[in-house]
Structure 1
Amino acid sequence: MERKKIIYKILVGLLVVLFGFGGISNLLLLPDMVASLNTLGYPEYFGRILGLAQVLGIMVLVAPVSSRLKEWAFAGFYINLISAIASHLIVEGLVPAVGIILVALVILTTAFVNFMQLKTTPNQ
């Protein structure tokens, strides 16, 4: 049981780094993020909306809030990553960014599976 908690916390830490960096970059409209948004056909203001959602999502994952709210944060991250993959594939084809997003999707899925296992395991 304790091992699963440690694995979950490490995975959430990785998600905090991934989505924290992306979220802050989007909120601040850093040049690389703006260029990526423009390449994909999104307006700049979309970066701020996406960045705010990412930062709020990571805050929910680390805060002592209800399991239901954490599930919604995971769902939001899934929508974010799947939409990012679709956008890149449609506009640019198979580019290295898709591989990076797939790695983030694997981390997210592994964290979610651990979260659900911890949620359903009785306290010992």
Structure 2
Amino acid sequence: MKRVFISFRNEDRNKVNGLRLLAANPDFAIEFYDESVRTAINSANATYIRTKIKEKISRTSVTVCMTSELTHTSQWVDWELEESLAKGNGIIFMGFKDGPANIRLPELGRRLDMKWWLWDYRHLATLIGQ
């Protein structure tokens, strides 16, 4: 079973809930880990939150960044992606099915000139390699 960390802006939480349903589908051997963060990255709670997120990332081999128009503005998403890269996770950028046809990737994706895909759960499963 593939363990996947989901990185996303808290404002996209409801859209991400649909992605989590794939874990219940018997055709997909996927287990999701994620943490929706509403706390500022430099707040007093940030150290505790980072510790918890790092624990979740450490149990995964792939990070899926669910990308909307404003995902690139999230310091937490940037941090999660950097942690995922440092851990050696594969990183996948996938837009939401109702998202724009053109988005700005978070800083890591732009820096590494990574690709992103519009929502397609079958393609996502292939990219995850499950």
TM-score by length of 1: 0.30
More strand by share: 2
TM-score by length of 2: 0.29
Higher-Rg member (1/2): 1
| Greater RCO (Cα-Cα under 8 Å, separation 6 or more) | 1
More helix by share: 1
